[in-house]
Amino acid sequence: MIAVLGLVIGVMVGLVVRPVVPSGVEPYLPIAVVAALDAVFGGLRAMLDGIFDDKVFVVSFLSNVVVAALIVFLGDKLGVGSQLSTGVVVVLGIRIFSNAAAIRRHVFRA
């Protein structure tokens, strides 16, 4: 419950306060968000499976974000930034879908 509240408060703060993101970080924000979403879905599934561990969740969340941003940064440096970020989004999307399928099986038993 506290976790859901954290998400809601984060969205509200982001909408109300309109924080200014440093321009250097801006290109990585969308990828980081998608990676974090993947971690969250994974954590939700783990919780439903009963094997949720907050330490694992923190590490996976942060590493997801950092690695995704790193890949995009590297891609930008190599001149294939847009293609590589597309690839990252595709991979993360597939993972989100599979996690969502597992969650669905738990919640709806179908």
Partner 1 sequence: MNDEPDDEMNGQPDDGPDDGTRGAEPPMTGRRRLVAGLWPPRLSRAQLTVAVLLFGLGLGLAIQVRSTSDNSGALRGARQEDLVRILTELDNRGQRLQDEKRGLETQRSDLETSSDQAAEALKQTRQKAQELGVLAGTVPAEGPGITLTITDPHGGVEADSLLDTLQELRAAGAEAIQINGIRVVADTYFTEGTDGVQIDGHKVSQPYAFKVIGNPQDLEPALNIPGGVVQTLEKEQATADVVRSQRIVVDALRSSKQPDYARSSQ
Q: Is 10 in the site for partner 1 (CB under 8 A)?
A: yes
Please name the amino acid found at residue 23: S
Q: Is 87 in the site for partner 1 (CB under 8 A)?
A: no
Taking CB under 8 A as the rule, which mask of x and - marks residues 46-85 in contact with partner 1?
A: xxxxxxxxx-xxx-xxxxx--xx-------x--x-xx---
Whether 41 contacts 92, CB under 8 Å: no
Q: Torsion angle of alpha carbons 39, 41, 47, 50, nearest 10°?
A: -90
Site residues for partner 1 per CB under 8 A: 1-15, 18-19, 21, 26-27, 29-30, 32-33, 35-40, 42-43, 45-54, 56-58, 60-64, 67-68, 76, 79, 81-82, 95, 99, 102-103, 105-107, 109
